[in-house]
Amino acid sequence: MTDRPPLRSLGSAPLPEIDENDHVRGAGPLIIVYADFECAYCALLHERLRDLTVRQVFRHFPVGSSHPRAWAAAGAAEAAGAQQRFWEMHDLLMADQARLEDPHLWERARVLRLNIERFESDRRSEAVRARIRRDFEGGIRAGVAGTPTLFAAGQRHTGRITTETLERLTRLG
The reply to whether the predicted model has a pTM over 0.85 is: yes
Whole-number pLDDT of residue 143: 92
| Domain with residues 23-172, CATH architecture | 3-Layer(aba) Sandwich (3.40)
How confident is the model at residue 2, as a pLDDT? 42
**Residue boundaries of the structural domains of the chain:** 23-172
Work out the angle at residue 69's Cα, subtended by the Cα atoms of residues 67 and 73, and round it to the nearest 5 degrees.
Answer: 120
* SS3 of residue 26 by DSSP: coil
Beta-bridge partner residues of 32: 57, 151
Cβ neighbours of residue 173 under 8 Å, at least 6 residues apart? 28, 29, 30, 31, 54, 152, 153
pLDDT at position 83: 98
CA distance linking residue 13 with residue 35, whole number of Å: 19
Please give the chain's pLDDT, 173 residues, in tens: 444 444 444 556 788 999 999 999 999 999 999 999 999 999 999 999 988 889 999 999 999 778 889 999 999 999 999 999 999 999 999 999 999 999 999 999 999 999 999 999 999 999 999 999 999 999 999 999 999 999 998 888 888 888 888 888 777 65
Cis peptide before 29 (omega within 30 of 0): no
Helix (H, G, I), strand (E, B) or coil at 107: helix
